[in-house]
Structure 1
């Protein structure tokens, strides 16, 4: 169930959301799915989408059951994936079977930082819910074998992971794009703590858009995905003016500067070459 980035902007508290109390069975399914997901922020976005959908649905019970079943299946899949044992040689033999049907793996390998290694596999295939799609899997080396520690399948294209260091912490970023002309970011960013029980902790790299307009010159905005350079904590983007078509931005370009504060990516500066 691929949730569009734009949904987040729409999910402000409204009276409609208070029409009925969400059923405990669905809430329990959400909590369980979140607790075992390597990308729990995505589960939070799904919950917000569920609340919006049930507020507008003429068949609330049916909507609730669809989301309960979705989260139950998601939890089962993630629990199974966490228990997988993978050999390094398996990465070149085909897809690690997590979600995609007809799966192929165009690339895989490992990234290093000092004495630490993190293995990875990019996947392409399809699901009945979303059609053609892609995903990635990150795997930690336990010595005798590899264990999946993070995975996601929200995009139609992913790049190999990048490891970088900021403020004495290690981070792993996987850039990805969603379907559609917007090419929205489905990048995933993690703090990497190789010796911790949970070696990858998801960093929020989406809600920075909520404050972006405060840093932009008047009359321009960012309509599509941006091109991140994670090691420099920056991103490049075109700028759109209100009268522009979706295809053709005329507002110039900007470089966005970020910091990682706590578990979130935060905009600190925008250098805009804005066209009048």
Structure 2
């Protein structure tokens, strides 16, 4: 009886645990929004739907590099919230709207991709009902008259043909389409196919432009490149260009969008590249006109610039900028800007801006100002106060928590990180200022923080994101804006 009673007790104790419903799986990635999304049933369901269709889109796309870049940019924008005026997090309803819009975009993308992927489905021999896809297919019939796929409605062929490399060993078959979509209105499309043994193989396609030019095969320092010039609609007249590079295993896409995040910090204050640039694939460069803040979209008056690129992995990376005489004349005058209103652009490699700010009570005895470094890559702010040692008076920046009206709070920092926190304010003649910047004094023309990039890379600055390293090469910060 005792053994039976004990067994019954164990069974009763186990029943509640077995009867408890499982918690719904949350697919939201780690980050500041994870708890918000996972704690709300509607947001959790929207995120699960998005991740599911995102996997389908990733499996069907011919532009995996661009796809990954845009996915990361969308997640950063979601976490940054509304930045139109005073930055603030998105509300719950705004987050749901963002998810709905993103899901609708993916629905269109998957539909377009699958309509082109059908070229890879061969007709079954008589008697068979289901034939597996084959990436090699015969030349499409009536290429000059009939649109490939069904991505565009009321589709007509604008042009079609073959482009060959100089040695004639590489041939690309292409078709340009014109039509419309219910979500985007008038659209153009292009489909690219490479000749291989036994037929043709899809290389890439896009239906994002309003115009596409016939593709070009060019020899560059990076190897044989396939470039399609394209433009989007509206006043922005942005780029819809496609880049592919030939490798031993076939053609791989090179994304040409992420470089734009590093452009603003490398232009003179008050100038911007508002529209698409004119790429030259052979020299891996581009030219662009520059707009002043008061210009209209039609009429840039800020001069121009040549942009030089290199290929890193599967991305175009901005390597250098050469300004024309008019753009160079737009450099600000340091003498007219008080230190507490100074914003600096980084002249080296890294997507950062720096600001000197007066926030709350004086930050230290050496200076009443704080230094804020803002990373465009991680959307993260790093705050520092100034201090100065005795003797020769080496200046340092020390990490602090985000300031409040009550003041600042030092963050615990490893002792061996202190030598990486040296700071130098430089005048226009490159002489070093003897003391840290203070309110009411002229802003330094340049800032130099030689070790901060190493400290960020190795996570020695408190608050550095753990999921990705911050990349900041040594370089000067130059006064760009007087707020």
TM-score, length of structure 1 as denominator length: 0.81
Is the Cα–Cα contact under 8 Å of residues 108 and 120 in structure 1 kept in the other structure?
yes
Q: Distance in 2 between matches of 1:212 and 1:68?
A: 29
User: Which residue is 2:237 aligned to?
Assistant: 183
User: Which residue is 2:192 aligned to?
Assistant: 138
Moved more, 199-208 or 140-149: 140-149
Q: Distance in 2 between matches of 1:48 and 1:17?
A: 17
| 1:194-213 alignment, distance < 5 Å | 196=249, 199-213=250-264
Q: Distance in 2 between matches of 1:71 and 1:28?
A: 10
Is the Cα–Cα contact under 8 Å of residues 189 and 205 in structure 1 kept in the other structure?
yes
| 1:53-68 alignment, distance < 5 Å | 55-56=90-91, 58=93, 64=99, 67-68=102-103
Question: Could you list the per-position Cα deviations for residues 99-146 of structure 1 after superposition, in whole angstroms to 9, with x for gaps in the alignment?
Answer: 011111221112222311111111111011111010110012244443
Once the 2 structures are TM-superposed, how far is the Cα of residue 35 of structure 1 from its aligned partner?
2.3
Is the Cα–Cα contact under 8 Å of residues 57 and 63 in structure 1 kept in the other structure?
no
Is the Cα–Cα contact under 8 Å of residues 237 and 275 in structure 2 kept in the other structure?
yes
Question: Could you list the per-position Cα deviations for residues 1-35 of structure 1 after superposition, in whole angstroms to 9, with x for gaps in the alignment?
Answer: xxxxxxxxxxxx99567631453332122022112
> Cα–Cα, structure 1 residues 207 and 70, in superposed 2: closer, same or farther, change >3 Å?
closer
> Cα–Cα, structure 1 residues 81 and 246, in superposed 2: closer, same or farther, change >3 Å?
closer
Moved more, 103-112 or 69-78: 69-78
> Cα–Cα, structure 1 residues 210 and 63, in superposed 2: closer, same or farther, change >3 Å?
closer
Q: Does 1:20 align with 2:30?
A: no
Q: Does 1:254 align with 2:305?
A: yes
Q: Distance in 1 between matches of 2:149 and 2:268?
A: 47
Q: Does 1:268 align with 2:319?
A: yes
Q: Does 1:94 align with 2:94?
A: no
Pick aligned residue for 2:228 from 166, 174, 179:
174
> Cα–Cα, structure 1 residues 56 and 164, in superposed 2: closer, same or farther, change >3 Å?
farther
Q: Distance in 2 between matches of 1:240 and 1:79?
A: 40
Q: Distance in 1 between matches of 2:196 and 2:271?
A: 49
Instruction: Identify which of structures 1 and 2 has the higher relative contact order when contacts are C-alpha pairs closer than 8 Å and 6+ apart.
Output: 1
Moved more, 176-185 or 237-246: 237-246
Pick aligned residue for 1:35 from 34, 48, 59:
59
User: Which residue is 1:10 aligned to?
Assistant: none
Task: Specify which structure has the higher proportion of strand.
Answer: 1
> Cα–Cα, structure 1 residues 271 and 74, in superposed 2: closer, same or farther, change >3 Å?
closer
Gaps of 5+ in 2: 1-29, 39-43, 82-88, 120-136, 330-483
Is the Cα–Cα contact under 8 Å of residues 239 and 274 in structure 1 kept in the other structure?
no
Q: Distance in 2 between matches of 1:141 and 1:260?
A: 25
Once the 2 structures are TM-superposed, how far is the Cα of residue 59 of structure 1 from its aligned partner?
7.4
User: Which residue is 1:6 aligned to?
Assistant: none
> Cα–Cα, structure 1 residues 246 and 99, in superposed 2: closer, same or farther, change >3 Å?
same
Question: Could you list the per-position Cα deviations for residues 176-206 of structure 1 after superposition, in whole angstroms to 9, with x for gaps in the alignment?
Answer: 111111101111111223x62xx33221211
Number of residue-to-residue matches in the alignment: 261
Gaps of 5+ in 1: 1-12
> Cα–Cα, structure 1 residues 24 and 242, in superposed 2: closer, same or farther, change >3 Å?
same
Q: Distance in 2 between matches of 1:218 and 1:68?
A: 37
Indicate the structure (1 or 2) with the bigger Cα radius of gyration: 2
